[in-house]
Structure 1
Amino acid sequence: MLGETRRYHHGDLRTALVEAGLRLARSGGADALGLRGVTRSVGVTPNAAYRHFADRQALVLAVAVEAQGLLARAMLDRIGVIEPDAEPGEQALERLRAVGLGYIHFALSEPGWFELAILTKDEPGEEAASVRIADAVPPPYQLLLDVLNGLVEAGVLSPERRAHAEWACWSAVHGFADLVTRGPLHGQDRDVIDKLAAHVVDTIIAGIRAGAD
């Protein structure tokens, strides 16, 4: 889907524009998503895009939804390699670890897509718009909710401590991702970053374990 840029001839122009937007955003983030540049990359005029998107922001949000899906896929890929025969409580904790490390790894590996999925920018003067799929919960956030609910089902996290736990978890991993993608840890040796990322996620898990004792 995201290989070499293809000229658009016939078919689904909306999909072609979104795919072109993903290619451009991969290296340039949201700033790379100008209507002129996106339409040029598929060989149509900017006016053609208005048949599918009301304005640039609508295109940015459509591409951001796809970036969210890619982020969720990266998290699911880590979940997919968890040992299936582990004790249910350990499996549940490993899924939380996979979600956290998958989030951070995606931010490091695909900063352009990560910025788009999580920190979508708006044009100056526009009202801020959150990235949503209709009225649905974004897939990466839904994964975190599901994993935390799984901890309750496995008896690792009490229902009382489950309340709002997603915000503590997300704040920790997103804060660290922000530090390494554009903060004071940006450019640090990758081995060091990986160790610090594991420490951040394991600290969250240690807190959950302590509450289960």
Structure 2
Amino acid sequence: MPTTEKPYHHGNLRQALVDSGAELARASGPEGVVLREVARRTGVSHNAAYRHFADRDELLGEIAAVAADHLERAMRTRLDEVDETDPARRAAARLRATGRGYIEFAVAEPGLFHVAFCPLESGPHSKEDAGAYLLLGSVLDELVEAGAVTPADRVGADAACWAAVHGLSVLMIDGPLRDLTQEERSGVMEKLLTTVERGLTRR
């Protein structure tokens, strides 16, 4: 007699598949996200998984959104630690905090970090929809409001700051800086953040 597939009894299957995929991504990056393995770990057949996701790319897109959310939260955690009250110094400290949170997340969670920016067949990620990018923009706006950065220097600063911290993150997790000690890594990170801040706030 033909067997019938058992229904999923543990809540939202779509979310469970995303959660399982995120754990695979955490361990192995985007290459580790295989729909059949995600289904197996969730305890369902791959046919059940295909009822919720047309293909691996669609699942990977949802996992990328989860990873991006984790990245934004890491940046916000660092922002919450800023206790400076002077408007200009506070805005500068918040800029450094966003960069620090970004780089620290990349080093601590390289698998999720790679997934957050992995290319998708369905199309490129939209930076306008990325919470981390919007958060950076709001902090840069604070610098302008505080008089620490001119409106002219604000133009294009989002991409420049993003490129700086993203580039260092990649060098630390995949490139020649991956073997730095924690102390050395911290020193290079702070040097970069100081350089970015001084470049923006120069008179």
What is the TM-score when the length of structure 1 is the normalising length?
Answer: 0.88
Q: Compute the displacement of 1:159 (Å).
A: 1.1
- RMSD value, Cα: 1.5
- Whichever residue aligns with residue 130 of structure 1, its letter is P
Partner of 1:106: 105
- Map 1:78-157 to 2 at 5 A: 78-83=78-83, 85-118=84-117, 120-122=118-120, 127=121, 129-132=123-126, 137-157=129-149
Residue identity in the other structure for 1:199: K
Look at both structures and tell me which one has the larger radius of gyration over its CA atoms. 2
- The answer to whether the 8 Å contact 1:25/1:32 transfers is yes
Quick one: percent identity of the two aligned structures? 42
1:34-76 CA distance string (max 9 Å, x none): 0011011110011111221111000001000000000000000
Mapping 1:25-64, distance limit 5 Å: 25-64=25-64
Aligned to 1:3: none
Of residues 152, 163, 174 in structure 2, which corresponds to 1:171? 163
Residues 104 and 176, structure 1, Cα contact 8 Å, conserved in 2: yes
- In the alignment, what sits opposite 1:5? none
Rounded to whole Å, the distance in 2 between the matches of 1:53 and 1:145 is: 33
- Find the aligned partners of 1:10 and 1:108 in 2 and give their Cα distance: 33
User: Structure 1, unaligned stretches of length 5 or more?
Assistant: 1-7
Distance, in Å, in 1 between the alignment partners of 2:92 and 2:122 is 35
Deviation at 1:23, TM superposition (A): 1.0
CA-CA distance at 1:209 after TM superposition: 2.0
Counterpart residue type for residue 109 of structure 1: A
Residues 162-205 of structure 1, C-alpha deviations (whole Å, 9 max, x = no match) = 11111111111111111111011112211101100010011000
Is the aligned partner of 1:183 residue 2:187? no
Deviations 1:76-134 (A, max 9, x none): 00000110x5201111111110111111101100000110112x144xxxx473235xx
Task: Name the TM-score, length of structure 2 as normaliser.
Answer: 0.92
Once residues 189 and 173 of structure 1 are traced to their aligned partners in structure 2, the CA distance between those partners, rounded to angstroms, is 18
Q: Determine the C-alpha separation between the residues in 2 that align with 1:57 and 1:161.
A: 38
Question: 1:195 and 1:177 mapped to 2: Cα distance?
Answer: 13
How far the C-alpha of 1:136 sits from its partner, in A, is 5.3
CA distance in 2, matches of 1:130, 1:37: 25
Q: 4+ runs of 1 displaced by more than 6 Å?
A: none
For 2:5, the equivalent position in structure 1 comes to none
Aligned residues: 196
For residues 160 and 193 of structure 1, what CA distance do their matches in structure 2 show?
32
